[in-house]
Amino acid sequence: MAIAVSIAVTACITDARAKPVPTPHPPTAMTDQASLASLASLPSQDPVFYDREYNNRANVPDNPAHMARWGEWSAQVRERGGFVADLVYADAGSRHPQDETLDYFPATAPADDGAAPPLLVFVHGGYYRALDKRDHSFVASVLPALGVSVAVVNYSLVPSVTVPDIVRQVLRGVAWLYRQSGELRHDPQRLFAAGHSVGGHLVAMLMAARWPQLAPDLPADLVKGGLSVSGLYDMEPLRRAAFLQCDLRLSEDDVARLSPAYMAPATAAPLSLAVGELEAAEYHRQHALMRAAWPANVRSPAASDLVLPGCHHFNVLDGFGEADSPLVRAVLRLTGA
């Protein structure tokens, strides 16, 4: 299976700056292509610019307090019980099976018609080198009570693995959840993904994946929609940021194969985008870039395009704790729950 995963990842990626994005439906095609060309142009050739723009911990000095709050909030969610911890999604070819685990929070509100609930797979951020699923149990604060099951996925961290390795792991985890739908009792036809920061990048990669090339039992539209919060869709700025590149070790070829803004989406599934009002300008550029790159997905009736007032890179996730927040409403709109 490990070989198949590698093939599927390679096959789902187009050459980053050599191929155009899919042509959107008129009358927006010319506008989107012009916007994409403008947004794809990097704003600076100075590496210091990217160090400054992408260093979220430096840009939000009280970030330790926010991450401590994530931990406390997540502990409270786990103390409620009713979830399954550390399910292993690794297969026989996995090189880091100890990292390939997930926590599963089943929906607690049954549907009126008795149908199986949708599943939201959440992928955490941390620039591929930090954080853990246990820091993000809070994503399941209110969604299970609203009829949405939640799986929070772990993956290995750089520099012990590469970013392409992490993409393969998350693909493997989502495929496992699709196959385990009967045992876990979610609807395999309503599997959605959400993520924060580089987790948002991984959501877009899931939506660009050619699933049948991973395995013949996986449908092309396996992921029915995504929510990317503060996501990253062009990897070139990360390659230029020295404080990240020391661990990420991205090559130019990696950037070409791992930038979803320059790939065709696998399907027309809705993609919801969110970014904090107070985030760095580069995060707003990345947000606008993806809007221009995948216009049909972002403009889907089930999708949301959000700029969250008063939010920076860390408190942008606070809405997952409020049933009537824009983030939770976006999830419910996406999943139809």
The predicted structure's pLDDT at residue 110 = 82
Query: How many alpha carbons lie under 13 Å from residue 67 in its C-beta half-sphere?
Result: 17
pTM of the model: 0.91
Rounded CA separation 40/17 (Å): 9
* Single-letter amino acid code for the residue at 258: L
3 state DSSP class of 293: helix
pLDDT tens per residue across span 228-259: 999 999 999 999 999 999 999 999 999 999 99
3 state DSSP class of 276: strand
Rounded CA separation 187/181 (Å): 6
Closest CA to 5 of 172, 127, 148, 129: 172
Two tokens, residue 241:
């940021």
Inter-helix orientation angle 281-293/47-54, to 10°: 90
Rounded to 5, what percent of the chain is helix, strand, coil? 45, 10, 40
Query: How many alpha carbons lie under 13 Å from residue 235 in its C-beta half-sphere?
Result: 30
What length does the chain have?
A: 337
Closest CA to 214 of 183, 268, 152, 170: 170
Rounded CA separation 39/165 (Å): 28
Angle, CA 248 vertex, CA 247 and CA 252 arms, to 5°:
140
Two tokens, residue 255:
């950037």
Cis peptide before 110 (omega within 30 of 0): no
pLDDT tens per residue across span 157-210: 999 999 999 999 999 999 999 999 999 999 999 999 999 999 999 999 999 999
Rounded CA separation 237/244 (Å): 10
Angle, CA 196 vertex, CA 97 and CA 272 arms, to 5°:
120
The predicted structure's pLDDT at residue 31 = 56
The predicted structure's pLDDT at residue 151 = 99
- Positions in the chain whose pLDDT score sits under 50: 1-28, 30
Domain annotation for the chain: domains and CATH numbers: 2-335 (3.40.50.1820)
Residues 6+ apart with CB under 8 A from 227: 120, 192, 193, 194, 195, 203, 271, 272, 273, 274, 304, 327, 330, 331, 334
Radius of gyration of the chain (CA): 18
Closest CA to 193 of 179, 182, 178: 178
Order of strands, edge to edge, in the sheet holding 305-308?
A: 84-88, 101-105, 149-153, 119-123, 191-196, 226-229, 271-276, 305-308
